[in-house]
A = this chain, B = another copy of it.
Amino acid sequence: MRVLVWNEGVHEANNHPADIGEYYPEGMHGAIAAGLRRLLPDAEVSTATLADPEHGLTAEVLARTDVLLWWGHAAHDQVDDAVVARVEEQVLGGMGLLVLHSGHFSKIFRKLLGTTCSLAWRNEGEQELVWTVKPSHPIAAGIPHPLVIPRQEMYGELFDIPDPDDLVFISSFAGGEVFRSGVTFTRGRGRIFYFSPGDQEYPVYQQPEIQQVLANGVRWAAPGPGDRAVPEVSNPPRQWLL
């Protein structure tokens, strides 16, 4: 299984916030990739960022990627539309996609979902509690109920997304808001998992339980053998009931 962790990398490059290098010495993508390598020893995990040529998302790279993780925030608009179209085509053709936190406003997520993906937010380092509401879902396997994140940005409803295929997690925050924090979708043959915890200001991706959710998500989203094919229009002859 080949996994690619994509991070725009702008916060890291700008050292903003100032302590991001302390939380994430290898960048958020580095921390995420390290967690996946620990939990999915059979997977080949690599990383790419906005600054890479073609954002590190060439046609060749995408074609051999089973699951792509996407973190973006400050530079959604700088992602090339041609690259977005390429990612979209691969997802529709079966590549798994995990969209993380502020990636809710990424071009690729909004394009696949068809809604504004807007939400309520407040950044005061509140405690977040992540509750499992579908315990039989593979993504929830082994996750504590609740999963406690000591300090995190608040994301609250209304989260403007289509009804998800599965609602796996709901979060509450110290300020009283709630959020559908773990939701799955299918677009074409591709499985998509959105997971909201994780932010450039807090070391969320260093938490082992968060890493477990991401590893579960990667395993769940990976296409099976023979699963890669974009659905196409066809014009079959009359052949069944004659």
Using a CB–CB cutoff of 8 Å, the interface residues on chain A facing chain B are 92, 94, 111-116, 118-122, 124, 126-127, 129, 131-136, 138, 141-142, 145-146, 148, 156-160, 162-163, 165-167, 170-172, 174-178, 180, 185-191, 223-227, 230-241
A136 neighbours in B (Cβ, 8 Å)? 94, 186, 188-191, 223, 227
State how many copies of this chain the complex holds: 4
Find out whether the CB atom of A186 lies under 8 angstroms from the CB atom of B114.
no
Closest to A232 in B: B118
Which residue in chain B gives the minimum CB-CB distance to A145? B158
A220 CB, nearest partner CB in chain B, Å: 10
Q: Could you name 29 residue pairs across A and B whose Cβ atoms are closer than 8 Å?
A: A94-B136, A111-B114, A114-B187, A115-B188, A116-B230, A119-B233, A120-B233, A121-B233, A121-B235, A127-B240, A129-B176, A133-B157, A133-B158, A135-B189, A135-B227, A136-B186, A136-B188, A136-B190, A136-B223, A138-B224, A141-B224, A141-B225, A145-B158, A146-B176, A163-B165, A172-B172, A172-B178, A175-B240, A241-B241
CB atoms of A131 and B157 under 8 A apart: yes
Give, as a whole number of angstroms, the nearest-CB distance from A92 to chain B.
6
Chain B: CB-nearest residue to A116: B231
7 nearest A-B pairs in the assembled complex, by CB-CB distance: A176-B240, A160-B231, A176-B241, A175-B238, A118-B233, A112-B114, A136-B189
Determine if B231 and A133 form an interchain contact, defined as CB atoms under 8 angstroms apart.
Answer: no
Q: Which residues of chain B have C-beta atoms less than 8 A from A167's C-beta?
A: 163, 167
CA–CA, A180 to B112, complex, Å?
21
Q: Provide the residues of chain B in CB contact with A227, threshold 8 Å.
A: 135-136, 141
Residues of B within 8 A of A174 (CB): 176, 238, 241
Which residues in B have their C-beta under 8 angstroms from that of A171? 178
B118-A231 in contact (CB<8A): yes
